[in-house]
Structure 1
Amino acid sequence: MHDLVIFDCDGVLVDSETMSNQCMIDNLARYGLELGLEDALGFFVGGTMSGVMEKARELGADLPDDWLEEIYGEMYARLQAGCPLVGGIPELLDALDAKNVPFCVASNGHEAKMQITLGQNGLWDRFSDRMFSAYTHGAAKPDPELFRIAARHFGAQTPVVIEDSRSGVTAAISAGMRCLAFAAHDDGAELRDLGAEVFHNMHDVPELLAL
């Protein structure tokens, strides 16, 4: 059995990716960049907001220097209005607790964002002391160091990562960790090609982890 489960946050614990990316689409349209949801998900999922800013400028968006402050404000407001959990997450966390398997979250997102999304769903208390943010630790996926920091914190020898993005899967595989890839909206072929074990329903994870 694994001695640590490392969760990504957006798209794995909370169903926030579509909401966050639609917010970015609406914002970027004001700066001359028209994107569809599929394009935005392909360009931005799993990245940092500074990376989003850089990519958007490459694609032609005329962004002001204070754009990060602006988009954070708009995105946080939209998420605060309501961001549901991914189905099956409460049951999975309960199953891990029942087997005394520790878990944590390691995300490229800011802790303030996780406080909004996890806080409104009753998970903040379960993760607040086991949270690893790229903004805090200075290591953003696909750099594997964020996962290594989490594993060292728990003294884990056989951690498993649950991810949903290219950058996250790449980081987990580079760290030498088993990676389960949650593909909620497609067949997950790209993530499988990167070395992850793809699944489509969070209720399947207890069996995959032999809980």
Structure 2
Amino acid sequence: MHDLVIFDCDGVLVDSEVLSNQVMIDNLAQYGLHLTLAECMSLFVGGTMTGVRDKARDLGADLPDDWTDQIYSEIYERLRAGTPLVEGIPELLTQLDAASIPYCVASNGRPEKMQITLGQNGLWERFSTVMFSAHVLGSGKPDPTLFLTAAQQFGAKSPVVIEDSENGVTAAIRANMRCLAYAAHDDGARLATLGAEVFTDMSHVPGLLGL
């Protein structure tokens, strides 16, 4: 039995990836980089915004020095307008509570972003004191530090990670943790290749955890 569930935030707890990536598409088009939603998500999901900036510049975007602040502001505005939970998350958390299995969130995103998305969905109270952010720790996925720090803080011997990005899966595997990969937008083949167990509906998780 696992003694800790480590959730990614965007795309796992909250259905924010498409919203955020559409904002990036519209923004980057102003700087000469035109991407489809599929291209944008393939390139950038699971990365840090600094990494997004550098990759976009490599692809030809003429981004200003203050671009990361600019894009964060635009994304936050869009997320405040309404960010739904991933379907099945409330029920899954209730089942984890009933089984007395602790859980936390570990994200490359800023704490302010998680407060916006989790706060409007009633999850902030559940995660505000068990939140691990790359911006606070100074190390983001695919580095395993986020997950290792979370497990150490909980004293977990058998943690499991729930992710949706290549960087996240890579970080979990590097941390020698079991990784369940939520594939909402494709078949999850790339995540499976990296070593994750792919699933397509949150209702599958209790069975995968042996609950």
5+ residue gaps, structure 1, are none
Q: Which one-letter code corresponds to 1:171 in the other structure? A: A
Q: Which residue of 1 aligns with 2:175?
A: 175
1:121-149 deviation per Cα after TM superposition (whole angstroms, max 9, x unaligned) = 00000000000000001110000111000
Alignment of 1:75-86 (within 5 A): 75-86=75-86
**In 1: Cα distance, 2:40 partner to 2:184 partner:** 16
Shift of 1:74: 0.4
Please give the alpha-carbon distance, in whole angstroms, between the structure 1 residues aligned to 2:181 and 2:63: 33
1:3 Cα deviation from its structure 2 partner: 0.2
Cα distance between partner residues in 1 of 2:113 and 2:119: 9
Equivalent position amino acid for 1:16 in 2: S
For 1:116, the equivalent position in structure 2 comes to 116
Unaligned runs of at least 5 residues, structure 2? none
Displacement of 1:77: 0.1
Cα deviations by residue, 1:162-205 (Å, 9 ceiling, x for unpaired): 00000000000010000000001111111001000000000110
Give structure 1 regions of 4+ aligned residues with deviation exceeding 3 angstroms: none
Q: Name the amino acid aligned to 1:130.
A: V
- Compute the displacement of 1:36 (Å): 0.5
Equivalent residue number for residue 186 of structure 2: 186
Residues 106-127 of structure 1, C-alpha deviation per residue, up to 9 Å, x if partnerless?
A: 0000000000000000000000
Q: Which residue of 2 aligns with 1:165?
A: 165
Distance in 1, matches of 2:62 and 2:185, equals: 31
- Please tell me whether residue 88 in structure 1 is matched to residue 88 in structure 2: yes
Letter in 2 for 1:96: L
Is 1:129 aligned to 2:140, yes or no?
Answer: no
Number of residue pairs aligned between Structure 1 and Structure 2: 211
1:38 maps to 38
1:199 paired residue number? 199
Q: For each residue in 1:21-78, what CA deviation from the matched residue of structure 2 results, as whole angstroms up to 9, or x when unmatched?
A: 0000000001111011011001100000000000110010100001111111100000
Q: Distance in 2 between matches of 1:44 and 1:186?
A: 15
Aligned-residue RMSD, C-alpha: 0.5
Secondary structure, counterpart of 1:132 in structure 2? strand
Identity rate of aligned residues, in percent?
Answer: 70
Matched AA of 1:115: Q
Output the CA distance in 1 between the equivalents of 2:125 and 2:92. 16
- The residue number in structure 2 matching 1:2 is 2
> Structure 2: which amino acid aligns with 1:121?
N
Distance 1:144 1:69 in 2: 26
Are 1:70 and 2:105 counterparts? no
